[in-house]
Amino acid sequence: MPPSAARFGWCCQYVPPDGDAGLAKRMNPGTVTIATLSKLSPARAEEKLTEVLRRNLQALHLQLDEVARHPAYRRLLRVNSGLLPAYTHEVGRPLYRQPGVQALVRSGLEHAGRKAMEADIRIGLHPDQYCVLNSATPSTLDNAVAELEYHADILRTMGLTGGWHPRGAHVNIHGGGRGEGIAGFRRGYALLSEEARNLLTVENDEMSFGLDDLLPLADIVPIVLDLHHHWVRTQGEYLRPDDPRIAVVAGSWRGVRPVAHISVSREDLLADWPPDSLPDYAALAARGLTTRDLRAHSQRMWNHAVNRLVADHLSWADFEVEAKAKNLAVDDLEQDALLSGAISAPASAGP
């Protein structure tokens, strides 16, 4: 991926612009609970899991098709981590060893990988908050390692492993708990396979590990800068591209174009805030809004000033948009990035 190829995209779920519920169901993965699978006979459990997997793999293909129809600067997708339900659970593991299930997963992911590579779509994944790689609790640590190896399995089958973050592929987690700190993260990191280590990234958050806390990990793992988390953690600091810490973050990616995250505080809580002005943390706190209020993600990227800040950061990083309206929020960012000149509209194909 060339350093100048700025791009941004949405995460996990597709939101139809017209609210079409049927399209939303087709475009998005489903799941099956461990409780449900546990109640079924082995044959019926395999049948049920296969049913869900067919839907999920088809949804992934439809999402990739949707991303591929957009300009190159929107060719980024975070794949839903629930793509293969129960993969790491003792109930699900024997089901995934069944030849029919293995063949379905392999063919679906291999095809998806080819599609992503042909369209030059950057792929990422993000395990949930319970994936704590620096946990002092053995079972929690074992589960975190298993989760990260599962995510590596997805990317391996898609053809997106082999070396350091091939084609920008990444599996992103938070730093974890404060108790074991950075030393605990390093211990957990050492338990991963080489492929999983070569895909891992770590993101700053509002509560346990701010950006400054994570910078010591830049020698082993790329840092994903979340601008909104940083704003909340620091109670109002907006990082600019010339901040010296940006160079450390970019360097942690070792030649791969970095990924960053963006969202903005909820529009219903900031209903009277001017959309052309950056939200002021101190002023909002003085109104009675709490950290919990301000950390929550908006539906849309409604603040043009935040979007212009992201446009400036596109000089060095790609962005995953974490607003709840998913692709619709990306539309908002796209319009402001075009107006700012950070990206250029594709040339018309003609009449």
Residues 6 or more apart in contact with residue 151 via CB below 8 angstroms: 81, 125, 127, 171, 196, 199
Q: What percent of the chain has pLDDT over 90?
A: 95
- The tokens describing 162, both together, are 């082999």
Q: Evaluate whether 221 touches 230 at the Cβ level (below 8 Å).
A: no
Read off the pLDDT of residues 171-222 as tens digits, 9 standing for 90 and up: 999 999 898 999 999 999 999 999 999 999 999 999 999 999 999 999 999 9
CA angle 77, 83, 84 (to 5 degrees): 150
Q: Which top CATH class is 1-123? A: alpha beta
For residue 350, what pLDDT band results from cuts at 50, 70 and 90? very low
Q: Measured between alpha carbons, how far is 228 from 321 in angstroms, rounded to an integer?
A: 11
Q: What are the residue ranges spanned by the domains of the chain?
A: 1-123
Q: Measured between alpha carbons, how far is 137 from 308 in angstroms, rounded to an integer?
A: 43
> Is the pTM above the cut of 0.85?
yes
For residue 2, what pLDDT band results from cuts at 50, 70 and 90? very low
pLDDT at residue 351, rounded to an integer: 38
Residues 6 or more apart in contact with residue 265 via CB below 8 angstroms: 228, 279, 284, 293, 294, 295, 296, 297, 298
Read off the pLDDT of residues 81-116 as tens digits, 9 standing for 90 and up: 999 999 999 999 999 999 999 999 999 999 999 999
Reference 10, options 56, 70, 57, 50; nearest CA is 70
Q: What is the mean pLDDT of residues 35-59?
A: 98
pLDDT at residue 5, rounded to an integer: 81
| Beta bridge partners of residue 122, listed in sequence order | 76
pLDDT at residue 144, rounded to an integer: 97
Q: What percent of the chain has pLDDT over 70?
A: 98
For residue 3, what pLDDT band results from cuts at 50, 70 and 90? very low
User: What's the mean pLDDT when you consider all of the chain?
Assistant: 96
For residue 348, what pLDDT band results from cuts at 50, 70 and 90? low
| Beta bridge partners of residue 123, listed in sequence order | 77
Read off the pLDDT of residues 268-290 as tens digits, 9 standing for 90 and up: 999 999 999 999 999 999 999 99
Read off the pLDDT of residues 231-272 as tens digits, 9 standing for 90 and up: 999 999 999 999 999 999 999 999 999 999 999 999 999 999
Q: Evaluate whether 151 touches 81 at the Cβ level (below 8 Å).
A: yes
